Structure 1
Amino acid sequence: MYKEEFNPSQVMTEKYFEFHHTYNETPPVVEFHQHPFYEIYFFLSGNVNYIIEGRTYSLRPGDILLTGSSDIHRPDIQPGRPYERVVIWLADDFFDNLHDLYGEDLTTCFTDSALKDYRLIRPDSQNIARLRQLCNLISEVKHSPQMGSYALASAYLTEFLVYVSRAYYDAPDSIKHDVTENEKINQILLYINENLTEDLSLNLLSDRFYISKYYLNRQFKQFIGLSLYQYIMKKRLIVARNMLRGGSSVMDACLQCGFNDYSNFLKAFKREFGKLPKEYH
């Protein structure tokens, strides 16, 4: 496979999908991020714990992680081994086109994993070999100047998605032993995500969940990797961005995501996404 230099940008520049195979001898530092598209992360080598929405996944080569447009995540990469992975970004339109052609919804593994808040797939060795073969084929045709290369890459990618979906529903329960989480923090995360327009102050949450403010702050930072304030702000901005992409007005997005000050909303949005809300229309 063609190997790329690591690019910290989380912006998709192609219309339907992007395929990136990256390799690093020295582990890069990746900050917490999210993006307005689906992501398949295919781990090939390294020493990595991957944090997604408060759960930390201890990865083995061949593992796959699924994230959607509302998930805050980052890899914690330790030195000692080369870090290699394939990352595939998929726009909503890509899945819409597949549904029109084949009548199948290949986003179900993403939506189901989000509902269960469990994003890890661990295919068996035969499926890992097949998925790697498909990645080689996608990489080869992606860099080919021949006619129909994009169409061929799309076909191989569709096959890749089918195998990922099958592996998701065949995943053994034993892989859950490689997940670190905290049930109290999970309950707080659920409450936050269901009440983003409401008061989510530290005082309110500590009272509601019968936990001291100091302990809540410490546990939240330990399991989420962000402070309580940082997480709530990112989540509100993500929901606002997704509302804008769906056609909502800037003012509606501001008010319905818990922001009481319009100018502060604009500044926070620009700081988080690098563009103003009106640029998403």
Structure 2
Amino acid sequence: MKREFEIIDHPSIKYLNIFLVDMDYRTSHLHRELEIDLVLEGKLSIFSKQQVYELDGGSSILLNSNQPHEIRTSESKSTLLCLQVSPNFCKSYFRGISNLVFDSARLEQHITGDSYKYITSLIIEMAYQYFARPKGFEFSCLSMLNLLFGILLNKLPYHEISDDEKNKNKLKVERLTRILNYVDEHYTHKIRLSDIAKIEGLSMTYLSQFIKENLNQSFQDYVNNLRFSHAKKLLTQDMKLLDVCLECGFSDYRYLHKAFLDNVGCTPAEYKKKLSNDSKAVRMKSSLHTIENYYSEQDTLDVIRKLRLDHLPVLRDIPNPLFSE
């Protein structure tokens, strides 16, 4: 069963997961880890909490723990370097981390100039140490992680929530997770908001508003986006368009046709032809309605090693932002 509450594994270093991914679409999801995304190439939009963040190469974003977010690209390829950090990494000496909420998602909005160059270079170096694994890389990664969060705490606005508010947020997260799971299991068939409202014991008005506030889109728009992304994947296979339409839950081919015109500016048939002419466009992995390609550890290291040539001198030449003012 597909769960949109993502469980993050930490294979190399406890509390830290780093990966490189080519992103096309990632359905709305949430996880306990804080996430920092650095765009290496391309343009994308991140939808979260009634906000849309437009990012391009060199931009970065910070997402709080349990913050729902959906990722869409505006180009055929957007490459992200992602850091997912469990709040437990510093809980023994900074106990308030689990009650801390950053108020600004775009890092460069409050961290500019040399300070921004420094933290992006710090992220690149952390990724290099993580994948190259020289002797003592665990110490290097965790020291840089602590330094990074020290800078973020001093440069970004944030607020602290009470334990009562934290518990209320936990209940909201659990409800949202149940809703996303239900949609995952039923979106290929006829699905109604009233069915979920009945299961959750909520009014249609409240549930509709709850979904809009957390997913930044209406219930029907969310369902249609899942169906559309599923259709994009199925078009890479040898399936008839009518079969794709039925498999994705579109009740009429006209709805599938409109979804492709609205999202990629061409018909399903034209999109399928484009894929057949460009094998590189088929870079799809993960769940049925998520389109992303994770780099292998070796491929990630090859990319990061090249980036490091430009970023390592920054760490040598630019003072630590914590001590430069």
Q: TM-score, normalised by structure 2?
A: 0.45
Letter aligned with residue 202 of structure 2? L
Identify the residue that residue 224 of structure 1 maps to in structure 2.
216
1: distance between equivalents of 2:105 and 2:124? 24
- What displacement does 1:107 show? 6.2
- For 1:39-50, list aligned pairs within 5 A: 39-50=35-46
Q: Alpha carbons of 1:84 and 1:44: their partners in 2 closer, same or farther (altered >3 Å)?
A: same
Query: Secondary structure at 1:143's aligned position in 2?
Result: helix
1: distance between equivalents of 2:26 and 2:93? 32
Which one has more relative contact order, counting CA pairs under 8 Å at least 6 apart? 2
- What displacement does 1:193 show? 4.7
Are positions 1:160 and 2:152 aligned together?
no
- What displacement does 1:34 show? 1.0
Identify the residue that residue 121 of structure 1 maps to in structure 2.
107
Identify the residue that residue 264 of structure 1 maps to in structure 2.
none
Are positions 1:56 and 2:52 aligned together?
yes
Letter aligned with residue 18 of structure 1? N
Q: CA RMSD in A?
A: 4.1
Percent identical pairs in the alignment equals: 12
Contact 1:32–1:72, Cα closer than 8 Å, also in 2:
yes
2: distance between equivalents of 1:84 and 1:230? 24
Query: Secondary structure at 1:28's aligned position in 2?
Result: strand
- What displacement does 1:228 show? 7.6
- What displacement does 1:44 show? 3.4
Query: Secondary structure at 1:164's aligned position in 2?
Result: helix
Residues 107-151 of structure 1: CA deviation (Å, up to 9, x unaligned):
67x5142xxxx5333231312211222123212222334331111
- What displacement does 1:155 show? 0.7
Residues 174-198 of structure 1: CA deviation (Å, up to 9, x unaligned):
xxxxxxxxxxxxxxxx9x959x698
Letter aligned with residue 19 of structure 1? I
Identify the residue that residue 88 of structure 1 maps to in structure 2.
83
- What displacement does 1:33 show? 1.1
Query: Secondary structure at 1:205's aligned position in 2?
Result: helix
Gaps of 5+ in 1: 1-8, 171-189, 207-212, 232-281
- What displacement does 1:226 show? 5.2
Letter aligned with residue 115 of structure 2? N
Q: Alpha carbons of 1:148 and 1:126: their partners in 2 closer, same or farther (altered >3 Å)?
A: same
Give the aligned length.
180
1: distance between equivalents of 2:40 and 2:98? 23
- For 1:126-205, list aligned pairs within 5 A: 126-169=114-157, 193=172, 199-202=201-204, 204-205=205-206
- What displacement does 1:39 show? 1.4
Contact 1:52–1:71, Cα closer than 8 Å, also in 2:
yes
Letter aligned with residue 47 of structure 2? I
- What displacement does 1:37 show? 1.7
Residues 246-271 of structure 1: CA deviation (Å, up to 9, x unaligned):
xxxxxxxxxxxxxxxxxxxxxxxxxx
Query: Secondary structure at 1:36's aligned position in 2?
Result: coil
Contact 2:44–2:75, Cα closer than 8 Å, also in 1:
no
2: distance between equivalents of 1:130 and 1:193? 36
Gaps of 5+ in 2: 1-5, 159-168, 176-198, 224-325
Contact 2:64–2:102, Cα closer than 8 Å, also in 1:
no
Are positions 1:71 and 2:67 aligned together?
yes
Are positions 1:19 and 2:18 aligned together?
yes
Contact 2:90–2:97, Cα closer than 8 Å, also in 1:
yes
Q: Alpha carbons of 1:94 and 1:32: their partners in 2 closer, same or farther (altered >3 Å)?
A: same
Letter aligned with residue 72 of structure 1? P
Query: Secondary structure at 1:31's aligned position in 2?
Result: strand
2: distance between equivalents of 1:55 and 1:67? 12
Residues 90-112 of structure 1: CA deviation (Å, up to 9, x unaligned):
11320214528xxxx5667x514
- Asked which structure has the greater CA Rg, the reply is 2
Identify the residue that residue 236 of structure 1 maps to in structure 2.
none
Contact 1:43–1:60, Cα closer than 8 Å, also in 2:
yes
